Chains A and B, each alone.
Chain A
């Protein structure tokens, strides 16, 4: 079985996949892994090539748009060790087009689709549970700690929705941020983060939302289990409404 190596970047991976799919008669029979730079590592190294990677990805987008977006979400999961599955998935995408995602009994397809689905589910969740706070200079700031690296697609969503405002989304774990300023979106790393001061009216608006959150629940239908299944507790940290406040108080206030 031929073994290939790449440098660990998405461009490297795409370039390697392009090479292997063009050269190998049966991509199912080869393996691909990230190079670890040990002396005795066996395998053929394929150098990253942004040009080849882009051409390859554009071809994928043309021939199997669903598979291309599945691949994109998969890369946001930052999952190591599934390079061979990914290679096989890409090869199958060119063979079957978008139908490939239905081939769930194939182990490689299942690996890739399952992880990709988790990412898109988390992205969708954050479109709802991200909370902005108004800062003193009039811009808005949202902080989050998602499991996957969803900053880019999430920022794209808000760039269409909150067009007229200036805002930041800060991924606390990855120390990356998106900035929307006068209609231009930038992504970058944040060296050091100091929480800026909130605008004066902010606490008042937050209190309104908290008041609404409490009174919209029907006391006779209290159901914390369903609340947590819709909105797992790991996401509660940055929620303005502070769910669970009433759990500590025992019964819901009428």
Chain B
């Protein structure tokens, strides 16, 4: 088979993996002949689905012995099968990298014969890149559930980021849709990776020569909408992963039906808006100081489709507002709908020089569309703040122009600051 054909099969099979981040690692190692990584990550292109391309994202093989219901590569599907040799992947990565197409490699794989045999071959690719080619660019390795801890350790020594996919948000769903992937086989490598990362950080505090272990941390991914879990369950799981396993990112991937299977729901379209809302809530957990219990509860277990989760929270908590722009602390500013990390930082920096006026606020670059209903400037409100909640809701509902267009279009959250 020609390389081009293989590449098309194996990138087409890898495209349902959401992660393409190249951030979080900084390698300016002179021992490497080619390549470095940039802490903020670099996007190299944007594909027709609007997602950024940063890494050469491919599977080593799509020839799978497992038969997971949701997966395009499951063994019972009659799709064209292909496998790369380690050398082919290494050559592609190097040729693409020299032409500045990519930041590095994202390598995943179907389970060929066994988890260990597959993982061994994937680790070989990373080792060849680092040791033979002396490649200093970004490498993201997927860990095959069930691989031995020895292979996980070898992966972490050469990759910038490693990840184990949770796939489905509950044990039951996993048993039903991916019977060959056990919960233990997923959780064990995750906690091992967490332990190794912490260990390496401690070691490096005393010796700069201590080996780095997955310096860009670990991430995971789960499929949204293929199983019945509520947003509350999903976000509680994410919160646990961030707090207990110190994950860098949890990716949510809207379920795209690629198989006919009685175990799967029938959807008219992938739940892109739900995915978008989950990412927004995820951002609230990581950067805005929210906890899941503030966003959702057992009584309201799913995110509001018409409002972003922060606006929804603000509407439920009228007692918190209005917030005085010239006095409120950073954490309070962050709770105002429409004020993000950038705006909050700019407000805090600017008011050290002078009192911020309503015009000044716009000049700083704060978008007033939603914020105007929730703030005062030196005691002066922008809108009547005694507005009834029902009226406020209708004002904030996306209806005229911009907001509606954004909601429909945003299948995926734009990640300010991470890639730009």
* A132 interface hit (Cβ, 8 Å): yes
Cβ of A227 and Cβ of B50 under 8 Å apart?
Answer: yes
Q: Which one of A105, A131, A239 contacts B353 once the chains associate, using CB atoms below 8 Å? A: A105
Q: How far is it, in angstroms, between the C-alpha of A226 and the C-alpha of B36 when the chains are bound?
A: 28
Which secondary structure dominates where chain B touches chain A? loop
Which residues of A sit under 8 angstroms from B348, Cβ to Cβ?
Answer: 102
Residues of chain A within 8 A (CB-CB) of B350 are: 102-105
User: A220–B269 contact, CB under 8 A?
Assistant: yes
Cβ contact of A227, chosen from B48, B57, B99, B254, cutoff 8 A:
B48
Within the complex, which residue of A208, A222, A230 is in contact with B46, where a contact is CB–CB below 8 Å?
A230
Residues of A in contact, count (CB < 8 Å): 60
B51-75 interface bits toward A, Cβ cutoff 8 Å, 1 = contact, 0 = none: 1111011100000000000000000
Cβ-based interface call for A212 (8 A): yes
Q: Which of B40, B51, B346, B352 contacts A99 (CB 8 A)?
A: B352
Which chain B residues in 95-134 approach chain A with CB under 8 Å?
95-96, 98-101, 103
On chain B, which size bracket covers the interface?
Answer: 35 or more
Is there an interface contact between B56 and A212, defined as CB atoms closer than 8 Å? yes
Chain B stretch 1-56: residues in CB contact (< 8 A) with chain A: 3-4, 7-9, 11-12, 14-16, 28, 33-36, 38, 40, 42-54, 56
Q: Which of B44, B51, B269, B357 contacts A128 (CB 8 A)?
A: B44
Interface membership of chain B positions 245-257, coded 1 if the CB is closer than 8 angstroms to chain A and 0 otherwise? 0000000001010
Q: Kindly identify which residue among B11, B98, B357, B420 contacts A215, using a CB–CB cutoff of 8 Å.
A: B11
Let me know if A252 is at the binding interface, CB within 8 A.
yes
Choose, from B196-204, B290-298, B386-394, B408-416, the stretch at the interface.
B408-416
The secondary structure that dominates the A interface is: helix
**B50 near A128: Cβ-Cβ < 8 Å:** no
Q: Given the known A-B contacts A124-B42, A221-B272, are A132 and B98 also in contact in the complex, defined by CB atoms under 8 Å?
A: yes
CA A124 to CA B272, docked complex, whole Å? 29
B48 & A243 in contact (Cβ 8 Å cutoff): yes
Instruction: Judge whether A223 is part of the interface by a CB distance below 8 angstroms.
Output: yes
Answer whether residue A209 sits at the interface, using C-beta atoms and an 8 A cutoff. Answer: yes
Does B284 count as interface, using CB distance less than 8 angstroms?
no
Those of A87-146 within 8 Å (CB) of chain B: 96, 99, 101-106, 110, 121, 124, 127-134, 140, 142
Closest B residue to A107 by beta carbon equals B363
B99 near A218 (CB under 8 angstroms)?
no
A19 part of interface (Cβ distance < 8 Å):
no
Residues on the B chain within 8 Å of A217, using CB: 15, 47-49, 51
**Residues of the B chain whose Cβ atoms lie less than 8 Å from the Cβ of A229:** 50, 414
The answer for the CA separation of A222 and B46 in the assembled complex, in Å, is: 11
Q: Which residues of B contact A124 (CB under 8 A)?
A: 40, 42, 420
- Chain B 340-362 near chain A by CB (<8 Å), digits 1 or 0: 00000010111011101100100
Q: Mark A221-251, 1 if CB is under 8 A from B, else 0.
A: 1111111111100000001110100110000
Tell me the minimal C-beta distance from A229 to chain B in angstroms: 7
Q: Which of B92, B96, B98, B410 is packed against the most chain A CB atoms within 10 Å?
A: B98
A128 contacts B43, C-beta separation under 8 Å: yes
Complex interface: chain A residues within 8 A of B45 (CB): 128-129, 213, 231, 239, 241, 243
Distance of A161 Cα from B136 Cα, bound (Å)? 9
Q: Please name 29 pairs of A and B residues whose Cβ atoms are closer than 8 Å in the assembled complex, sorted by A.
A: A105-B354, A105-B357, A121-B420, A124-B420, A127-B38, A131-B99, A133-B99, A140-B98, A162-B35, A163-B34, A205-B99, A208-B3, A208-B95, A209-B101, A212-B7, A215-B15, A216-B11, A216-B53, A216-B57, A221-B50, A221-B254, A225-B50, A226-B50, A227-B47, A227-B50, A230-B414, A231-B45, A231-B46, A243-B45
Closest 9 CB pairs of A and B: A102-B349, A226-B50, A223-B50, A230-B46, A217-B47, A217-B48, A221-B49, A105-B360, A215-B12
Q: Which residues of B contact A (CB under 8 A)?
A: 3-4, 7-9, 11-12, 14-16, 28, 33-36, 38, 40, 42-54, 56-58, 92, 95-96, 98-101, 103, 254, 256, 269-270, 272, 346, 348-350, 352-354, 356-357, 360, 363-365, 409-412, 414, 420
**A interface residues (Cβ-Cβ under 8 A, vs B):** 96, 99, 101-106, 110, 121, 124, 127-134, 140, 142, 158, 160-165, 205, 207-209, 211-231, 239-241, 243, 246-247, 252
6 more A-B residue pairs beyond the given contacts A207-B4, A213-B47, A221-B50, with a C-beta to C-beta distance below 8 A: A102-B353, A104-B350, A110-B363, A209-B96, A216-B47, A227-B50
